Amino acid sequence: MLATASSLLFIARPAAAQTVAVADTAADTAPAAQDDIVVYGAGKVRQEQTVTQKAIEILPPGSSPLKAVERLPGVALQSSDPFGSYELGTRLSVRGFNQSQMGYTLDGVPLGDMFYNNHNGLHISRAVAAENIARVDVSQGAGSLGIASTSNLGGNLEFVSRAPSQTMGGEVALTYGMYDTVHLFGRLDSGELPTGTLLSLSGVIHDASKWKGFGNQSDTKVNGKIVQRLGAATLTGWLNYSLHKERNYADLSPATLKRIGSDLDFLRPDYATAILLSQVSANQAAAAAKRALPFPTAGVAFPSPYTNVNDTYYDSGGVRRDWLGALTLDAPVTTWLDVTATYYHHYDKGSGGIYTPAVFSPDGFPLSVRTTEYGIKRDGGIARATATLGDHTIQIGYWHEDNRASTDRNYYAASLTNRPDVTDFLENPFRSDFLTDLTTVTNQYFVSDSWTVFDALTIAGGFKGTRVANGIVTTFGTPFINGRIAAKDWFQPQIGATYRIGRQELFANYAENMRAYISSFRGPFGTTQVGFEAIRNTLKPETSRTVEGGWRFDLGSVRGVIAAYDVKFENRLLAAFSGANILGNPSILQNVGSVTSRGVEIGATYQVSRPLAVIASYSYNDSTYDDDTVNGTAFVPTKGVRTVDTPAHLAKGEVNYDDGSFFGNVAGAYTSRRNVTFTGDVTVKGYTLFDAAIGYRFPTNSALAGVEIQVNAVNLTDERYIAALGSGQFFNNASSLNNTLQAGAPRQVFGTIRRRF
């Protein structure tokens, strides 16, 4: 497939072409003003903002770049840890669309849907060190035509990494904080070599204890990048390595919150209680069947405060190892035609493990370690061309990806003396539920035209087409399922315009998008062969229609945006589950109707003076189900109910100060009530969080030139709140509710010393 990469240059397009409003990608967006934290997307036909490197630098080192994005209107982010890098407990939603319904790229390379159960990409927290990100371009609504994504029903987040510096230098930074947090970052830049080459190499070591329970969250990253001039062309290559280990926080339910509290976590190192819970559960099952108790000394009553074997388990965690790299050639062909072509490769090996009482070890020990093991080998090519013909800028592009993945379910023996580490890659399972090979072949193209009608008016339009073919081969296991399914839509149009009146700008946009099926047990393969055959010819991919418009205002010291939108989300897919999550029961995916979302977003920056700026935003979102639902065989009255995990109100404000020496930030954010169940009979209350940072850079003429110190505090008021929802899926109503809530992190403080040279 990639042997044709060179021929794709004929339909490629360069990163230098930065004027097209509809089809631009993250690599194409003009760099934001260096002194701004948020840039409001002037010239874009969509609601779009950029957060700059300054927004990332003010965060506690080790934070996910998503933490910088959450200050934007319409963006809701919750995480169980203070950094937003704990993948299983981090949830992003925008305008009612959840994290897996958005699009994500790094330097134009697709990151998939960034869901924890990886099948087509990886989380941005693993893809690159946050310190190496130059900016993030966020489209809350329609998303770009040219983005390499098949999941962006909603908008997209396009991450752009730092280029190697033109001058030799680097930096080293050390962070220490509460819960034994240690974060070390180092970077070296070669400067421009005599060959015209630029090089950078950086690394991260991060380790932090959980704020409750046992265990650490750790990251090791190495990022390398090279830029080489080839006459008028530029060749850019980069390679990133990540080893990410996380010990999970226990999922909570309203019942366990009331009975035990938000400090409930996994039991490790209390092995005895974990064994007892399993034994009591086995005894209860035997007593109900009028059989002899298998563990007579354990009895049939759970030890207080537990009333169920699924209240908590001994331990749970995961490990991911990733290699992600790309090679891009940008070349001007003529004065009016520019091309670019990218080849990328991603390799992932991952495992998520949990101690389960549902399957005993071979010797009868009442626990084992159940793992879901992942593998990804993705190869892809992206090619684009830009032609500037008078008042028209025409783009065409093509993206192909071949993804060979696997998902396996294995069990490993445990005993009194053998306690496998759930953050390791385990070997020699005693049982396998299933071994599956998954394929995803993606083909997508786009065509766009940006027409400058006259100086004040630009019209941008185009369309894209997508076909994604998914396949599964089960080599062993139950359910045993084999087959193929495809989603395609060769015409997904967009049309938009901007109109300038002095320093003011009006914009409007219409877009249609489709979300492809996923080669995962969250998708159509998460069922039996009979269930798959029943849906294969009737299932429809999810689609969205977005209409949005607004006013970007520039009133001198106050700049910002006011936008409104109307979104119709159709063919919503829902998997009908049964039983506790740990049982791994099969589901059946089904179309369950549509969702209507309407809302307004306001964001503004008030530059009080050059060192002092105030940023604020407010969003109102009304997302409701249009239909009642039949979930499996259960009728669920969802019509008119607010969608799960969708706050109606988001209000955010921050004060930033930076005079070159002293700098700091105080930020507050309010998130309103959210539904936990589809019927809305279980909710979590709203909450307000405050974070702060303060720092000092030593003068350039001092002995400590290049040194800076920074102190960060998160959750200043030590708010107790529920952060991520849906960690154990969403449920019909309170009677079917399982553990699916994650508690938010308490107040924490971190200190950093940094040396730039």
The pLDDT of residue 638: 93
Residue 583 — pLDDT band, cuts 50, 70, 90? low
Beta strands in 148-231 (DSSP E): 156-161, 168-177, 181-190, 197-209, 216-230
Closest alpha carbon to 213 in 343, 314, 319, 75: 314
Q: What is the DSSP string of 432-461?
A: EEEEEEEEEEEEEEEEEEEEEEETTEEEEE
Distance CA 44, CA 494 (A): 13
The pLDDT of residue 116: 86
Residue 1 — pLDDT band, cuts 50, 70, 90? very low
- State yes or no: pLDDT of 634 exceeds 90: no
Q: List, in order, residues 6 or more apart from 94 with CB less than 8 Å away.
A: 74, 75, 76, 102, 140, 154, 155
Q: Which residues of 41-53 are buried (b: 16+ CB within 10 A; e: fewer)?
A: bbbbbbbbbbbbb
Lowest mean pLDDT among 98-107, 584-593, 712-721: 584-593
Distance CA 286, CA 274 (A): 19
Q: Across residues 73-98, what is the average pLDDT?
A: 94
Q: Across residues 613-622, what is the average pLDDT?
A: 97
Environment class of 230 (CB within 10 Å of its CB; exposed 0-12, middle 13-18, buried 19+): exposed
CB 624 within 8 A of CB 595: yes
Angle of CA points 101, 265, 725, to nearest 5°:
20
Q: Which residues of 731-756 are buried (b: 16+ CB within 10 A; e: fewer)?
A: bbbeebbbbbbbbbbbbbebbbebbe
Query: What tokens appear for 488 in the block?
Result: 């395609």
Residue 478 — pLDDT band, cuts 50, 70, 90? confident
Phi-psi region of 423 (alpha: psi -120 to 50; beta: other; left: phi over 0): alpha
CATH class (in words) of the domain with range 2-166+215-253+312-756: mainly beta
Comparison of pLDDT for 728 and 609, the residue scoring more: 609
The pLDDT of residue 738: 82
Q: Across residues 210-219, what is the average pLDDT?
A: 95
- State yes or no: pLDDT of 31 exceeds 70: no
Distance CA 69, CA 56 (A): 9
The pLDDT of residue 585: 56
CB 374 within 8 A of CB 350: yes
**Looking at the DSSP assignment, which residues form a beta bridge with residue 614?**
606, 655
CB 374 within 8 A of CB 407: yes
Lowest mean pLDDT among 138-152, 301-315, 414-428, 495-509: 138-152
- State yes or no: pLDDT of 479 exceeds 90: no
Query: What tokens appear for 450 in the block?
Result: 């940006």
Angle of CA points 310, 284, 295, to nearest 5°:
100
644-689 confidence digits (pLDDT tens): 999 999 999 999 999 999 999 999 999 999 999 999 999 999 999 9
Q: List, in order, residues 6 or more apart from 384 with CB less than 8 Å away.
A: 11, 12, 13, 14, 146, 339, 340, 341, 395, 396, 397, 398
Residue 584 — pLDDT band, cuts 50, 70, 90? low
- State yes or no: pLDDT of 23 exceeds 70: no
- The mean pLDDT value of the chain amounts to 92
647 preceded by cis ω (within 30°)? no
The 3-class secondary structure across 237-258, one letter per residue, is EEEEEEEEEEECCCCECHHHHH
Would you mind telling me the total number of residues written for the chain in this entry?
Answer: 757
The pLDDT of residue 18: 35
Q: Across residues 286-295, what is the average pLDDT?
A: 97
- State yes or no: pLDDT of 46 exceeds 50: yes
The pLDDT of residue 588: 76
Q: In what order do the strands lie in the sheet with 103-106?
A: 38-39, 48-52, 133-139, 156-161, 103-106, 109-110
Give the Å distances, CA to CA, from 98 to 82, 151, 502.
20, 11, 37
Amino acid at 22: V
Q: How many CB atoms lie within 10 A of CB 425?
A: 13
318-365 confidence digits (pLDDT tens): 999 999 999 999 999 999 999 999 999 999 999 999 999 999 999 999
The pLDDT of residue 29: 38
The pLDDT of residue 5: 37
The pLDDT of residue 214: 95
353-375 confidence digits (pLDDT tens): 999 999 999 999 999 999 999 99
Residue 422 — pLDDT band, cuts 50, 70, 90? very high
Residue 142 — pLDDT band, cuts 50, 70, 90? confident
The pLDDT of residue 734: 79
Residue 504 — pLDDT band, cuts 50, 70, 90? very high
CB 338 within 8 A of CB 330: yes
Residue 98 — pLDDT band, cuts 50, 70, 90? very high
726-748 confidence digits (pLDDT tens): 887 888 887 777 888 999 999 99
Distance CA 15, CA 429 (A): 48
For the chain, domain boundaries: 2-166+215-253+312-756, 168-209
pTM: 0.93
- State yes or no: pLDDT of 10 exceeds 90: no
Strands 103-106 and 156-161, by their bridges, are parallel
Distance CA 128, CA 51 (A): 17
Closest alpha carbon to 144 in 496, 485, 387: 496
Beta strands in 455-503 (DSSP E): 457-477, 483-501
* 323: helix, strand or coil: strand
362 preceded by cis ω (within 30°)? no
Q: Across residues 16-32, what is the average pLDDT?
A: 38
Q: Across residues 93-114, what is the average pLDDT?
A: 95
- State yes or no: pLDDT of 15 exceeds 50: no
What is the maximum alpha-carbon separation in the chain? Answer: 87
Amino acid at 201: L
The pLDDT of residue 656: 97
Distance CA 727, CA 741 (A): 6
Lowest mean pLDDT among 7-16, 59-68, 219-228, 413-422: 7-16
* 548: helix, strand or coil: strand
Q: Across residues 590-615, what is the average pLDDT?
A: 95
